C-alpha cells in the first residue's frame, strides 16, 4: 500500500524543530565544519597548485560540490542517527502513533525535517561562498530548490537504512559502502570525466552526481544542461526511497 499522506505530519516536524532549536548553534556548527574545512582547506591549498579546473578557479569548482556534499551529509546524519534515536532508543515514534497519527505521518514528518536541516546547511555554505566572492550570478539562487530536492533524496535513503538497522553500528556499512564512495565518485573534488569509463557509468546513477551536475553551472553563472534528467533522477530517489522507508517502518513497528 502506498503511503497515506496527510497534514498530521506537521506536529512531528514541529516537535523535531523545537528540540533542534535548543541546540541549534552547535548543531549547525557540527554540520558546517566538515564541508567548510574541505572547501577552504582544499580550495585554497590545492587551488594554489592548480591554474583552473574547467575554466574556473579550483575553489569555485569545489564550492558547488561542497554545497551538495553538505546537503547529503546533513540529511544523512539526521535520517540515520537522530531518527534512529527517536525510533529505537527513545521510542518516540511508538509514543506518537498512539496518538491520532500513523506511521506514515511520522515517516513523512521525519523525511521533511531531515530535508529541512539539510537545506539550512546548504544555505549556510551558500552564505560562505558569497562572503568569499564565489557567487557570480543570480542563477545561484536556483541552488535553494536544488538543495531541497537533494535533501529529500538523501533523507529518504537514510530513513530506509534506519528502518532496517538493529543498532548505530549498522550505519557504518552505509557510510562505507554508499556515502563515502558517492562522495568520491560524484565529482565533488574533481571532474567526473577524469574517472575510468566504467566508474563514470557507476557515477552516472548516483544522486550526488546529478545534484552536482546541476549545481556547478549555477555557481558559475550558467544554465545547466540536461536539467530534466537530473531533476527526474533526484525526484525518483526521493520518492522511491520515501515509499520504501514507509513500508519498512510499518513492518518494523506494527508487526
pLDDT for the residue numbered 30: 67
CA angle 61, 65, 71 (to 5 degrees): 150
Cβ-proximal residues to 147 (8 Å cutoff; 6+ apart), any chain: 67, 68, 71, 118, 119, 122, 123
Confidence at residue 1, expressed as pLDDT on a 0 to 100 scale: 73
156, 113, 120: which is closest to 16 by C-alpha? 113
Give percent of the chain above pLDDT 70. Answer: 96
pLDDT of 122: 87
Q: Which residues contact 190 (CB under 8 A, 6 or more apart)?
A: 53
How long a stretch of residues is the chain?
A: 255
Evaluate if residue 39 carries a pLDDT over 70. Answer: yes
Q: Report the distance separating Cα 243 and Cα 156, nearest Å.
A: 8
Q: How far apart are CA 148 and CA 156, in angstroms?
A: 12
Instruction: Report pLDDT for 90.
Output: 93
> Per-residue pLDDT tens for 74-128?
999 999 999 999 999 999 999 999 988 999 999 999 999 999 999 988 888 888 8
Beta carbons of 154 and 212 less than 8 angstroms apart: no
For the stretch 131-146, pLDDT in tens is 888 888 889 999 999 9
Q: Is the pLDDT of residue 202 over 90?
A: yes
Give me the helices (H) in 165-226, please: 171-174, 180-185, 197-203, 207-219
Pick from 138, 150, 134: which is nearest to 68 by CA?
Answer: 150
pLDDT at 223 over 90: yes
What is the chain's mean pLDDT, rounded?
90
Interatomic CA distance for residues 241 and 16, integer angstroms: 21
Entry pTM: 0.93
Helix ranges, 58-206 (H): 58-77, 83-84, 92-96, 103-131, 143-164, 171-174, 180-185, 197-203
Where are the domains positioned within the chain? 9-254
Question: What mean pLDDT do residues 16-29 have?
Answer: 81
Amino acid at each position: 500500500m502506498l503511503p497515506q499522506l496527510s497534514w498530521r505530519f506537521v506536529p512531528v516536524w514541529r516537535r523535531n524543530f523545537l528540540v533542534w532549536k535548543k541546540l541549534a548553534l552547535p548543531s549547525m556548527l557540527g554540520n558546517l565544519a566538515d564541508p567548510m574545512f574541505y572547501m577552504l582547506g582544499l580550495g585554497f591549498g590545492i587551488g594554489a597548485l592548480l591554474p583552473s579546473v574547467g575554466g574556473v578557479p579550483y575553489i569555485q569548482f569545489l564550492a558547488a560540490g561542497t554545497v551538495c556534499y553538505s546537503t547529503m551529509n546533513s540529511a544523512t546524519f539526521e535520517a540515520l542517527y537522530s531518527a534512529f534515536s527517536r525510533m529505537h532508543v527513545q521510542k518516540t515514534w511508538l509514543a506518537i502513533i498512539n496518538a491520532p497519527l500513523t506511521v506514515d505521518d511520522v515517516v513523512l514528518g521525519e523525511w521533511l525535517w531531515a530535508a529541512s536541516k539539510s537545506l539550512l546547511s546548504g544555505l549556510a555554505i551558500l552564505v560562505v561562498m558569497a562572503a568569499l566572492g564565489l557567487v557570480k550570478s543570480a542563477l545561484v539562487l536556483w541552488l535553494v530548490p536544488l538543495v531541497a530536492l537533494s535533501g529529500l533524496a538523501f533523507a529518504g535513503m537514510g530513513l530506509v537504512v534506519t528502518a532496517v538497522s538493529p543498532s548505530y553500528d549498522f550505519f557504518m556499512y552505509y557510510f562505507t559502502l554508499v556515502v563515502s564512495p558517492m562522495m568520491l565518485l560524484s565529482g565533488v573534488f574533481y571532474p567526473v570525466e577524469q574517472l575510468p569509463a566504467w566508474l563514470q557509468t557507476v557515477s552516472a546513477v548516483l544522486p550526488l552526481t546529478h545534484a552536482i551536475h546541476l549545481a556547478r553551472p549555477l555557481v558559475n553563472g550558467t544554465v545547466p544542461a540536461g536539467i530534466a534528467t537530473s531533476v527526474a533522477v533526484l525526484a525518483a530517489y526521493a520518492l522511491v526511497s520515501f515509499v520504501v522507508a514507509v513500508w519498512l517502518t510499518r513492518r518494523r513497528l506494527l508487526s
